[in-house]
A and B are shown apart, each in its own frame.
Chain A
Amino acid sequence: MNTERSEVTGATPASGAPLLDIRGLRIEGFADERWNPIIKGVDLTLHRGEVLGLIGESGAGKSTLGLAAMGFARAGVRFAGGSVRFDGMDLLTMPEWKRRRLWGTRMTYVAQSAAASFNPAHRLIDQTVAAAVREGLKSEAEAIADAKALYAQLQLPDPEHIGARYPHQVSGGQLQRVMTAMAMSARPDLIVFDEPTTALDVTTQVEVLMSMRKIVEEFDTAAIYITHDLAVVAQMADRIKVLRYGEEVEEAETREMLAHPKQDYTKSLWSVRSLRKAADPSEDVVLRAEGIDAAYGNRLKVLHDVSIDLPRGRTVALVGESGSGKSTMAKVVTGLLPPSKGEITFDGAPLPPKLKDRSKEQLRRIQMIYQMADTAMNPRQTVGEIIGRPLTFYHGLKGAALERRTVELLEQIELDAGFYDRLPGELSGGQKQRICIARALAADPDVILCDEVTSALDQIVQEGILKLLMRLQRERGIAYLFIAHDIATVEAIADEIVVMYQGRVVEQGLKDQILAPPHPDYTELLLSSVPEMDPDWLTALMERRRAEAGGPRP
C-alpha cells in the first residue's frame, strides 16, 4: 500500500532521471481488417518542469503519441512495441488498475473539445476535483477551495461561483480554462495538452494560452503540448519535436528549431510564413458593394452598411473572427442572400440581388471556392465530371474538346491527366482544393470568392495553394475576394484588407497601411492576438496587456 501511495502522490525526489522516457514506441491502429502502423518507433524524453511541443500535420500521430505518453490507447489502437517509462515505472507492462491511479493525479489530459469532454450531467467543480478527492490527495473541502483559487489564477470570471455551473452554461474559452484547472487540481507531474486552443477564436486563444502558460510555469509542471500551429508551439514549448507519418523528423530547443531548422520538411513548414506579396494598388474596380445591409429571415441584422471595392486583378482580403459577417458578405455577393439595403455593381452595371435573376453570363463571371473542399465536390462525380461540367454548361464544350480542355485545366493546377477518372475520396486535402480551383477556372471568371480556402489545410499544403492562386491571378487577371481569419495568409496574398467586426467594416485600405500602426481598437486586438513565430512574443504581449490593464496583478 505504501509504495502505491507514493506512486500516486509522486513522492520521488527530483533527480537527473527523466520524468518520461519513451523508447522505440510502436503503435498500431485497426482499419480495413488489419493492423496498420500509426507510430513507427519514436523516442521521447521529458524532464520535470519541461514543456515539449509536438508538432505535425493531421494524421502525423501526434494525439496517439500524446495519449501513449500516459500509457493510454484508444479503442481500436494497440501498443505494438517499445516502452513508456514514467518516473521509472514501465506504463505498458503495468496492470491497468495501477495505471489508472496515475491518471488524473500524476498525469492529466487537456482535450481539444472542452465542450464535448465535460460530462453534461455534472457541475464543473465536481468534475474539477473528482480525481484528487477520489485518490484521497485532498479532502473535498480543500480541493474545492483549491479549485476556486485555480479558477481565479486562470482568470475565469466569478471564480467563487463559476464551478457551480454546468458545462453548457459557460463559453468555450472558459471551459478550456476550467479543464486546465481540472488537469492542475491534483498538481500532476505531467499534463498532456492536445490541441487545446484549436477550436477557439484567435482573440480567445491568446487569453487561454496566456493563462495556461502562467499556470504551468507557476507549478513547474512538465507538459506535452500538441498542436499543428507553429507560432503557438513557439510560445508554449521549451523544445519542439516534429512528427510526420508516425516518425520523428527532428527535435531541437525551440529557439534553435525556429532559427535553424535542419530537415527540408521542417523548413517547408516554416516557409508559408515567409510568403508575401507586395501590395499593388489599383483604381479599376470590377466589383463594388455599396451600403449593404443583410439579415437572415426576420432575425437580427448581420451586416450593417458594408461597402467594399474589389479592383480588377487584385486581392481584397476580408478579415474578422467568426460572427463578424464575412461569410455573409460572400453570400450577398453570390446572390444567395439578397441584401435588405444597398447595391452591388459588377463591371459598371448593377448586379441583380437575387441569384435566380442573374444571367448565365453574370453567374459565369463570378465563381466561388469553398473552405471545405471535401463538401464542395460531389463525392460521386469524377474529377473529369466536376471540372467538365462548367465547361459544358457555360462554354458548350463536348467530346474530345471537352476532354482536352479539362486536361489543360488539370495541368494549370499542377496535376496530371491521371486524375481525370478519380473520385474526390481518393484525393488528398490539397489536391481536392486544387480541383475546386480548376472548377472555378473552367468558367473563365473575372472574380473568384475565396471563403477561407486554406484554413482547413495543413500548413505545408497551404503554401502551395496560395502560390497557385497568385500565379493564376498574374496569368489571367482574376480578382479575389479573399475571406480569412488568419493574418499570415492575408499578409501573403492580399493587396487590400477590409477588417470586419460584428457585421460592420472597422477599417479598410491597402495592406501595408492596415498592418502598420496605429490601429483602431479592434484591429489592434485582432492583430496583436495572432501568435508570431518569435518565442518571446507571448511574454511581451502579456506584459504589455498587463501594463495597459493598470499595473501587474497582485
Chain B
Amino acid sequence: MHPVLRTVLQRFALGVLTLFIVSIIIFASVQMLPGDFAEAVLGQAATTETVAAFRRELGLDQPPVIRYLDWIGALAQGDLGTSFSGRAASGVDRSREVADLVGPRLLNTLFLAGMTALIAVPLALFLGITAALKRDSLYDKAVSTTTLTTISFPEFFVAYILILLLGALWPVFPSLADVSPGMPLWDRVYTTALPALTLTLVIVAHMMRMTRAAIINLLASPYIEMARLKGEPPRRVILRHALPNAWAPIAAVIAFNLAYLVVGVVVVEVVFVYPGIGQLMVDAVSARDIPVVQACALIFAATYILLNLVADIIGIVTNPRLLHPK
C-alpha cells in the first residue's frame, strides 16, 4: 500500500477510535450522577410507579454495557433519545425527541460558523502572511499588538461592545439574532451579522497570530535562503519555494481555529439569543436535561475531532517525504 494511503488510514482509524472512547466517556459521565436522578427530574410528588417507569425507560435497571450498546446503537440510527424536560410528576409526558430539538438548531449553528469562517479564514491568512513577510515593520507590530490585545478579550466583551455601538447607539444591525426557519437568505445574513462579526474578530486574532508564526518559521528554513541565493525573485521564493511547504502548517492553523470557533459559538449564541446548538446546550445544562447535553457534547466533540483529523490528513498528503517514499 502507498505510504500516504496507509498513514491516512491509520489517522482515520485513530480518529474513529478517539470518537468511540469519547462516546464512552460522555455516556459514562451520566453514570456518575449523584443521588436518585429519576426523582430529581420528576419532582418530589412523583409516584413510585412513575419513577419506576422512568427508570426502566432510562434503562437504569440494565447493566451499563448493555445500556451503552443500546445508546450507541440508537445513535447510529439517528435516534438521540428523549429529552427530560416536559416530564412531570403526574406521569404526563410532553417531552420531545432530542433529534427534533437538535436538528434545526444544528443547522443554525452551522450557518453562523460557516458565515464566520467565510470571512475570517481569508482575512486572517491575508493578515498573517503579510505580517510575516513584512516582519518587524510598523504594519507587523501594529497588527501583532492589536491581535495580542483582542485574543485577551472574552467573547462576550467583544459582543457587548458591538451591541453597544452597532445595536444600541447606532442601530445598524439587530442586537438579537432571532432567526426563524424559512427566513430568506439575505434576512438571515442581516440578522446574524453581529454574532458573525463578534466571532470573526475573536477568530481572526488567533488565526492571524498562528499563521504569522507558522510562516516565519517556514521562511527561516535554509532552503528559503538557498532559493534567494539562487537569485529567485521574491514572488517566486514565496510561490514556488515556501508555498508548497506551507499547506500543512496553514491547514493545521485553520483546523485548530475552526475547532476553536465551534466552542466560541456557545457564548456568542447566548449573548445574541441565537437559536443554535450552543444555546440549547447551555439551557440543557441549567435544566440538567442529560440526554440533550449528551447529544450536544457528542456533536461538538465529533466536529472537533473531525476538524483535527482533516488538518492531519492535509499535513500527510502534502508531505513530500510521504508522497515520494524512498
Contacts and interface: CB of A to CB of B under 8 A. Distances in A.
Q: Do chains A and B touch in the complex (CB under 8 A)?
A: yes
Interface of A: 67, 70, 72, 74, 97, 100-105, 108-109, 111, 113, 116-122, 130-131, 134-135, 165-166, 168-169, 182
A116 B233 contact: no
B152 interface: no
A545 B206 CA distance: 61
B229 A103 contact: yes
Given A116-B221, A122-B244, A97 B233 contact: yes
A121 B230 contact: no
A121 B324 CA distance: 10
Contact of B226 (A74, A118, A165): A118
A104 B226 CA distance: 9
Nearest to B233: A100
Contacts of B232: 100, 104, 130-131, 134
Contacts of A165: 324
A103 B324 CA distance: 30
A104 B229 CA distance: 6
A117 B220 CA distance: 11
A119 B223 contact: yes
Given A116-B222, A120-B321, A104 B245 contact: no
28 contacts: A67-B229, A74-B225, A100-B231, A100-B232, A100-B233, A103-B228, A103-B231, A104-B231, A105-B231, A108-B230, A109-B229, A116-B223, A117-B222, A117-B223, A119-B223, A119-B227, A119-B245, A120-B245, A120-B320, A120-B321, A121-B245, A121-B320, A134-B231, A134-B232, A135-B231, A166-B320, A168-B320, A168-B324
A165 B320 CA distance: 11
B214 to A, nearest CB: 16
Given A116-B221, A119-B241, A121-B244, A109 B231 contact: no
A194 to B, nearest CB: 10
Given A116-B221, A122-B244, A168 B229 contact: no
B298 to A, nearest CB: 39
B212 to A, nearest CB: 16
B326 interface: yes
Given A72-B229, A103-B230, 20 more contacts: A70-B229, A74-B225, A104-B229, A105-B231, A108-B229, A116-B223, A117-B223, A119-B227, A119-B245, A120-B223, A120-B245, A121-B241, A121-B245, A121-B320, A131-B231, A166-B320, A166-B321, A168-B320, A168-B321, A169-B324
A168 B319 CA distance: 11
A105 B229 CA distance: 10
Interface core residue of A97, A116, A121, A168 (most chain B CB under 10 Å) = A121
A408 B227 CA distance: 54
B320 A117 contact: no
A226 to B, nearest CB: 14
Interface string B14-41: 0000000000000000000000000000
Contacts of B226: 109, 111, 117-119
A90 to B, nearest CB: 18
Interface core residue of A101, A113, A120 (most chain B CB under 10 Å) = A120
A287 to B, nearest CB: 41
A111 to B, nearest CB: 6
Contacts of B245: 119-121
B250 to A, nearest CB: 14
Interface string B311-326: 0000000001100101
Contacts, number: 73
Contacts of B225: 74, 111, 117
Contacts of A111: 222, 225-226
By Cβ-Cβ distance, the 6 closest A-B pairs, closest first, are A103-B231, A104-B230, A121-B244, A104-B231, A116-B222, A117-B226
Nearest to B223: A119
A67 to B, nearest CB: 8
Contacts of A121: 241, 244-245, 320
Nearest to A118: B223
A116 B221 CA distance: 7
Contacts of A70: 229
Nearest to A8: B231
A166 B324 contact: yes
Interface in B201-251: 221-223, 225-233, 240-241, 244-245
A117 B223 CA distance: 4
A510 B182 CA distance: 94
B137 to A, nearest CB: 13
Contacts of A67: 229
B323 to A, nearest CB: 8
Contacts of B231: 100-105, 131, 134-135
A100 B233 CA distance: 7
Contacts of A101: 231
A108 B326 CA distance: 29
Nearest to A67: B229
A102 B228 CA distance: 11
Contacts of A182: 230
A103 B237 CA distance: 14
Interface in B231-278: 231-233, 240-241, 244-245
A121 B319 CA distance: 8
Nearest to A113: B222
Nearest to B244: A121
Contacts of B241: 119, 121
Interface in B268-326: 320-321, 324, 326
Contacts of A109: 226, 229-230
A163 to B, nearest CB: 13
A399 to B, nearest CB: 50
A67 B324 CA distance: 33
A302 to B, nearest CB: 22
Nearest to A120: B320
Interface core residue of B227, B244, B245, B321 (most chain A CB under 10 Å) = B227
B107 to A, nearest CB: 40
A290 B98 CA distance: 73
A356 to B, nearest CB: 36
B166 to A, nearest CB: 42
B124 to A, nearest CB: 24
Nearest to A102: B231
A151 to B, nearest CB: 18
Nearest to B321: A168
A63 to B, nearest CB: 11
B244 A131 contact: no
Nearest to B221: A116
Nearest to A70: B229
